[in-house]
């Protein structure tokens, strides 16, 4: 079968390996582009959020390449993203694409359903149960090192002497991980990638601002959806830390719940039941970034995303209590790169002036 999947950041490298070694032909979804968004906007409900529209466009693009099955995630909790695969199945049927959507529900939500669908992929691919377990193990390792390498690039980029060097070396590192097929090869590729990024010529006299990135998972993880905000900030000389990486989300939210502390940190600002999506995380992570000395926080949210709208209503109080500026960027099909860049430059200017003022006050106190 020809199988594809949603594109979220660099995870496509691990997912295409997974599909191939389950015994199927893979179609890597193209990076979201204007064509993707135009297709998505044309065929999606007007009220749908930007992740839904981008995914609609992506699925129609891979349909042109003859994809038969799309494997995606389901979900649990009060966020409509968990039902997207069902809605996309209706939409793809109406357009007579002949594509079958397979929505993998989180094991914590429905273990039997998760196993049945994964087992169906195994059987139709013609591999044994033991082989599938090994494939899952290698895929998981790939996913983890992809996140580790990307995380390191965001720490190094603000110090690079030659603009764009970190991004160039990052792509080489990603290619090495892409070519790795065993746990040892993945480990070696990861070590080589880390070494190459750490060897980038740096100006260590700089004191970059530190900004935390929070918000809805798709627009946070997919650079094309957020206009490459982390690379943009890094090349402005800002160190960024993203609250969500796919390996961390998969482990914490779908396999075993390690987010208890997150809910406790957000609790002082919520009187009612926890809000859905990543709204609670956005509140709690702002508290955590403030307590760890970050200069500011940027909340990324799809336009009309209810969990992030609720979080945005609470964040001004968190910002005031914790003395940390927060910028919210709502993203839809009308959002342009220039507009995002202008707002980021203004926010960075504000944070630099704030730091200068604090430094002056500290010097006067001495």
| pTM listed for this prediction | 0.90
For residue 73, what pLDDT is reported?
Answer: 86
Q: Is the pLDDT of residue 174 over 90?
A: yes
For residue 272, what pLDDT is reported?
Answer: 65
DSSP 8-state symbol, 29: P
Gap between the Cα atoms of 151 and 137, Å rounded: 21
Q: Is the pLDDT of residue 226 over 50?
A: yes
- Helix H or strand E encompassing 219: helix 217-221
Gap between the Cα atoms of 344 and 298, Å rounded: 9
Q: Tell the residue number behind the tokens 């044309």, with chain if given.
A: 42
Tens-place pLDDT, residues 102-138: 998 888 778 888 889 999 999 999 999 999 999 999 9
Average pLDDT, the chain: 91
**Confidence label for 196 from pLDDT (cuts 50, 70 and 90):** very high
Q: CA angle at residue 276 from 219 to 73, to 5 degrees?
A: 60
Tens-place pLDDT, residues 251-284: 665 544 545 577 888 888 887 666 777 888 899 9
Least confident of 24-33, 83-92, 109-118, 316-325: 109-118
Gap between the Cα atoms of 189 and 207, Å rounded: 30
For residue 258, what pLDDT is reported?
Answer: 47
Least confident of 134-143, 186-195, 247-256, 356-365: 247-256
Least confident of 19-23, 289-293, 332-336: 332-336
Mean pLDDT calculated for residue range 51-56: 94
Q: Tell the residue number behind the tokens 């082989």, with chain if given.
A: 131
For residue 247, what pLDDT is reported?
Answer: 80
Q: Is the pLDDT of residue 219 over 50?
A: yes
Gap between the Cα atoms of 171 and 212, Å rounded: 23
For residue 183, what pLDDT is reported?
Answer: 96
Gap between the Cα atoms of 340 and 22, Å rounded: 40
Percent of residues, the chain, with pLDDT higher than 90: 75
Gap between the Cα atoms of 357 and 352, Å rounded: 9
Enumerate long-range contacts of 111-114, CB under 8 Å, 24 or more apart: none
Using CA atoms in the order 188, 247, 50, 259, what is the torsion angle rounded to 10 degrees? -160
Q: Is the pLDDT of residue 78 over 70?
A: no
Percent of residues, the chain, with pLDDT higher than 70: 95
């Amino acid at each position: 079968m020809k199988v594809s999947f949603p594109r979220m950041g660099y995870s496509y490298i691990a997912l295409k390996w997974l599909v191939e070694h389950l015994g199927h032909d893979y179609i890597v979804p193209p990076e979201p582009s204007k064509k993707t968004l135009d297709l998505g906007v044309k065929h999606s409900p007007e009220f749908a959020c930007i992740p839904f529209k981008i995914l609609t466009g992506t699925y129609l693009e891979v349909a042109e390449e003859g994809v038969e099955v799309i494997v995606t995630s389901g979900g649990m909790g009060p966020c409509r993203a968990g039902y997207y695969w069902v809605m996309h199945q209706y939409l793809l049927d109406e357009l007579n694409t002949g594509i079958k959507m397979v929505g993998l529900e989180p094991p914590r939500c429905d273990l039997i359903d998760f196993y049945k669908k994964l087992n169906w992929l195994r059987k139709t691919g013609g591999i044994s149960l033991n082989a599938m377990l090994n494939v899952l193990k290698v895929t998981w390792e790939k996913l983890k090192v992809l996140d580790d390498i990307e995380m390191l690039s965001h720490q190094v980029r603000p110090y690079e002497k030659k603009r764009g060097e970190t991004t160039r070396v990052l792509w080489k590192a990603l290619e090495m991980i892409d070519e790795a097929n065993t746990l040892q090869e993945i480990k070696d590729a990861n070590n080589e990638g880390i070494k190459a990024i750490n060897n980038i010529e740096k100006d260590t006299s700089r004191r970059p601002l530190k900004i935390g990135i929070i918000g809805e998972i798709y627009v946070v993880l997919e650079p094309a959806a957020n206009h490459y905000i982390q690379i943009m900030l890094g090349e402005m000389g800002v160190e960024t830390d993203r609250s969500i990486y796919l390996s961390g989300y998969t482990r914490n939210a779908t396999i075993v719940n390690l987010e208890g502390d997150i809910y406790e940190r957000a609790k002082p600002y919520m009187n009612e039941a926890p809000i859905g999506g990543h709204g609670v995380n956005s509140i709690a992570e702002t508290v955590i970034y403030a307590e760890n000395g970050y200069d500011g926080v940027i909340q990324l949210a799809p336009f009309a995303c209810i969990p992030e709208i609720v979080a945005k209503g609470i964040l001004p109080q968190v910002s005031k209590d914790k003395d940390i500026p927060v910028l919210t960027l709502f993203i839809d099909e009308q959002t342009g790169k220039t507009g995002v860049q202008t707002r980021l430059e203004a926010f960075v200017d504000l944070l630099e002036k704030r730091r200068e003022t604090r430094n002056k006050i500290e010097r006067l106190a001495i």
